[in-house]
């Protein structure tokens, strides 16, 4: 982000990109098989090829979007607050002071666990302040959680 | 009073489980009439239904059936059991409430973290001289800090005690004198509730007349929905007027006290440092009278977003009033602010992004306060003290990016409590994010280290701190 000091800017793990690729490709494969089979059985072999080609094109577009999305994630731990930036179409940048943190949430779904990733989410008393960082490697997630928790306790302010 | 008693003769006397000999130290019961009041309305409804069914007006046959009364008896028994197993006490700086028969529920409400204390008197309770206390903490649900019912003097004494303890005074301190700041005349209240309907009613009546003139037989077809609409609308107006009737705002060292209500009354007390944001709304149709509504936001349970009622996180500080009254109340609600920050409009190209709201858009801030004006047909001005800011966000959509604009949100505790600096210049918005973050940091530090104003939140920093962050909740 321009206007912000560039040092200490961190990104999610490259494994997040691999995970998103795997997700898109798995979905595309299932869709291509289904669409190809449906078109092939009802309309013929030519239709099946077209259906598979359309699905492939869609998957490539999705991959392009997912890559941009992956690249847009950034976070930065400053002295007093955490900055999280994200978004391709809609850019969002959140600045959350450590003192406002209510709790930290580390979650990892089944696919996340296969790729040894986790999502760290910072909750404040405001429902709108969404400081969520996906695709952190487990060690980084644990480090961030502990650091945020320690800083939150040190700098906490009442409501 | 005798009916429920007669109905529960088979009810075995039940002790609160978990309460032994030690339980007698300071534990108190609710008022013995509370089951009657709590179940009163439901029992009356059931009794009325039973009466109708008995007299043969409704239902299959005449004659009393045992099951007509079963529901009423169950309700009464449940209310009485609830009364028997509920007890409370003020334990130093904690209000403790224990309730529940099968699943024992023991709540501890630290007074240092009180957000608001409400004294609610529904009609039936008011007739019997009872009142309910509701203590609101951040993040607590509706039912959490409820004590229904106590006698009115006991409820008032408990409120005084809780608020005194909240401000770090001796709990025995009597309730400080309050000074009435403003009140809303009934005529203005009724007018403000009726005005929005006048154009709608005119259109409806005109349409009805037109249709009736065109097709005489269609009169009934038009009249029935019209009557239905009038009844619905009347109910809405009635609810608004009866809930806001005799609205008074008073100021005392405890905080702002709001009293309102026609049949049932409510007295809400909000300690001033607990106000998260203030909002002034000027609806289009009120503009000829230059009326506005002032609301304050108090931290409370997320997920609830009711507009009216005592459970609301958003409370009306002035349901309808003049700009001067609103300004006066605003100065009371946000004592930190001396001079109001200057408002600046967004650049002219924002007209493309927000053609309908551009004429209202403006925002500004100083060292302690952020102000933002938004709205399309009704103007909404939001003041957020920087010391209450939870986060600062910059949002830029694709169209905004094309125009070189961005929106900055300053979030306060709650669901949609924020000041929105809409459609600012991109460079200005980026600078604003950093500036607001830095300013709110110093404002927060000032507020924590040097408790402002008269109500020093004693126990505030220390107790509030530890509670605010629950670290290491990661799983």
Instruction: Answer yes or no: do A28 and A96 share one domain.
Output: no
B265-270: strand order across its sheet: B145-151, B130-137, B114-121, B265-270, B255-260, B248-252, B179-183
> Is B437's CB within 8 Å of A95's CB?
yes
Provide the domain count of chain A.
Answer: 2
B405-412: strand order across its sheet: A9-10, A74-77, A81-86, A91-97, B389-396, B405-412, B418-425
Mean pLDDT, chain B, integer: 80
Complex prediction ipTM? 0.88
Final residue of a domain: which of B312, B333, B354?
Answer: B333
Instruction: Answer yes or no: do B347 and B324 share one domain.
Output: no
Q: Work out the minimum CA distance from A14 to partner chain B, whole angstroms.
A: 23
Decide if pLDDT at B1 tops 50.
no
According to the 3-state scheme, what is the secondary structure of B103-157? Answer: CCEEEEEEHHHEEEEEEEECHHHHHCCEEEEEEEECCCCCCCEEEEEEEHHHHHH
**Residue B163, token pair as written in the block:** 């608020």
Q: Work out the minimum CA distance from A64 to partner chain B, whole angstroms.
A: 17
Instruction: Answer yes or no: do B79 and B106 share one domain.
Output: no
In-domain check, residue B273: yes
Strand partners, B384: B370
Decide if pLDDT at B444 tops 80.
yes
In-domain check, residue B428: yes
In chain A, the percentage of residues whose pLDDT exceeds 90 is 67
Final residue of a domain: which of B244, B264, B289?
Answer: B244
What is the C-alpha separation between B397 and B401, in angstroms, rounded? 6
Higher pLDDT, B338 or B351: B351
What range defines the domain where residue B428 resides? 336-451
Give the pLDDT confidence score for residue B453 in this predicted structure: 41
Give the pLDDT confidence score for residue B108 in this predicted structure: 87
Instruction: Answer yes or no: do B318 and B343 share one domain.
Output: no
User: What pLDDT digit, counting tens, does each position of A87-124 carry?
Assistant: 999 999 999 999 888 888 899 999 999 999 999 998 88
Chain A positions in Cβ-Cβ contact with residue B448 (cut-off 8 Å): 157-158
Sign of CA dihedral B143, B147, B152, B155: negative
Instruction: Answer yes or no: do A91 and A24 share one domain.
Output: no
In-domain check, residue A131: yes
Provide the domain count of chain B.
Answer: 4
In-domain check, residue B196: yes
Sign of CA dihedral B455, B131, B415, B251: negative
Instruction: Answer yes or no: do B240 and B275 share one domain.
Output: no
Instruction: Answer yes or no: do B81 and B207 share one domain.
Output: no
Residues B273 and B338: beta-carbon distance below 8 Å:
no
Q: What pTM value is reported for the model? A: 0.81
Strand partners, B236: none
In-domain check, residue B460: no
What range defines the domain where residue A114 resides? 74-155
Instruction: Answer yes or no: do B3 and B132 share one domain.
Output: no
Chain A positions in Cβ-Cβ contact with residue B474 (cut-off 8 Å): 104-106, 120, 142, 145, 149
Instruction: Answer yes or no: do B417 and B371 share one domain.
Output: yes
Residues B459 and B162: beta-carbon distance below 8 Å:
no
Instruction: Answer yes or no: do B234 and B265 share one domain.
Output: no
Decide if pLDDT at B420 tops 80.
yes
> Is B276's CB within 8 Å of A159's CB?
yes
Please compute the mean of the pLDDT values over residues A16-37 and round it to a whole number: 94
Q: What is the DSSP letter of B270?
A: E
In-domain check, residue B465: no
Residue of A nearest to B458 (CA): A158
Of the partner residues A120, A126, A153, the one whose CB lies closest to the CB of residue B471: A153
> Is A153's CB within 8 Å of B469's CB?
yes
Crossing angle for the helix pair B219-244 and B197-214, to the nearest 10 degrees: 170
Instruction: Answer yes or no: do A41 and A107 share one domain.
Output: no
């Amino acid at each position: 982000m321009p206007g912000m000091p560039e040092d200490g800017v961190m990104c999610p793990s490259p494994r997040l990109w691999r995970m998103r690729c795997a997700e898109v490709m798995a979905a595309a494969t299932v869709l291509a098989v289904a669409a190809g089979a449906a078109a092939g059985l009802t309309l013929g072999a030519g239709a099946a090829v077209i259906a598979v080609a359309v699905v492939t094109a869609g998957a490539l577009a999705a991959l392009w979007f997912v890559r941009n999305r992956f690249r847009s994630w950034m976070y930065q731990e400053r002295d007093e607050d955490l900055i999280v930036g994200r978004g391709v179409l809609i850019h969002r940048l959140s600045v959350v002071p450590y003192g406002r943190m209510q709790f930290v949430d580390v979650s990892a779904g089944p696919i996340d666990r296969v790729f040894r990733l986790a999502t760290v989410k910072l909750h404040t008393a405001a429902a709108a302040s969404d400081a969520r960082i996906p695709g952190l490697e487990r060690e980084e997630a644990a480090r961030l959680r502990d650091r945020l928790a320690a800083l939150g306790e040190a700098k906490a302010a009442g409501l | 009073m005798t009916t429920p008693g007669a109905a529960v003769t088979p009810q075995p006397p039940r002790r609160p489980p978990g309460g032994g000999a030690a339980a007698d130290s300071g534990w108190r019961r609710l008022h013995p009439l509370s089951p009657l009041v709590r179940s009163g309305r439901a029992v009356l409804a059931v009794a009325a239904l039973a009466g109708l069914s008995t007299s043969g007006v409704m239902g299959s046959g005449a004659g009393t059936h045992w099951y007509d009364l079963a529901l009423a008896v169950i309700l009464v028994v449940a209310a009485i059991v609830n009364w028997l197993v509920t007890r409370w006490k003020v334990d130093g700086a904690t209000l403790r409430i224990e309730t529940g028969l099968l699943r024992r529920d023991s709540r501890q409400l630290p007074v240092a973290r009180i957000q608001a204390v409400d004294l609610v008197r529904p009609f039936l309770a008011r007739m019997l001289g009872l009142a309910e206390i509701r203590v609101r903490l951040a993040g607590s649900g509706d039912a959490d800090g409820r004590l229904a019912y106590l006698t009115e003097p006991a409820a008032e004494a408990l409120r005084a005690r809780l608020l005194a303890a909240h401000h770090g005074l001796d709990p025995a301190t009597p309730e400080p004198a309050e000074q009435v700041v403003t009140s809303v005349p009934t005529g203005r209240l009724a007018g403000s509730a009726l005005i929005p309907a006048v154009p709608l009613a005119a259109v409806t009546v005109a349409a009805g007349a037109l249709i009736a003139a065109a097709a005489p037989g269609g009169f009934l077809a038009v009249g029935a929905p019209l009557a239905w609409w009038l009844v619905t609308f009347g109910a809405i107006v009635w609810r608004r007027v009866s809930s806001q009737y005799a609205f008074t705002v008073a100021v005392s060292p405890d905080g702002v006290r709001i009293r309102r209500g026609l049949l049932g009354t409510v007295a809400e007390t909000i300690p001033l440092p607990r106000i998260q944001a203030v909002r002034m709304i000027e609806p289009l149709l009120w503009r000829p009278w230059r009326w506005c509504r002032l609301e304050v936001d108090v931290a409370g349970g997320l997920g609830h977003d009711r507009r009216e009622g005592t459970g609301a996180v958003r409370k009306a500080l002035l349901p309808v009033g003049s700009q001067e009254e609103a300004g006066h109340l605003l100065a009371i609600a946000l004592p930190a602010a001396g001079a109001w920050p200057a408002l600046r409009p967004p650049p002219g190209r924002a007209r493309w992004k927000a053609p309908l709201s551009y004429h209202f858009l403006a925002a500004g801030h100083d060292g302690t306060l952020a102000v933002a004006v938004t709205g399309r047909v009704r103007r909404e001005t939001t003041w957020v003290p920087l010391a209450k800011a939870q986060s600062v966000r910059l949002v830029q959509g694709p169209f905004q990016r094309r125009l070189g604009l961005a929106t900055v949100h300053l979030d306060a505790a709650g669901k949609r409590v924020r000041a929105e600096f809409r459609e600012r210049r991109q460079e200005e918005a980026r600078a604003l994010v950093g500036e607001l973050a830095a300013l709110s940091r110093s404002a927060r530090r000032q507020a924590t280290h040097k408790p402002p104003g008269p109500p020093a939140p004693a126990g505030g920093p220390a107790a509030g701190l530890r509670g605010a962050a629950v670290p290491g909740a990661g799983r």
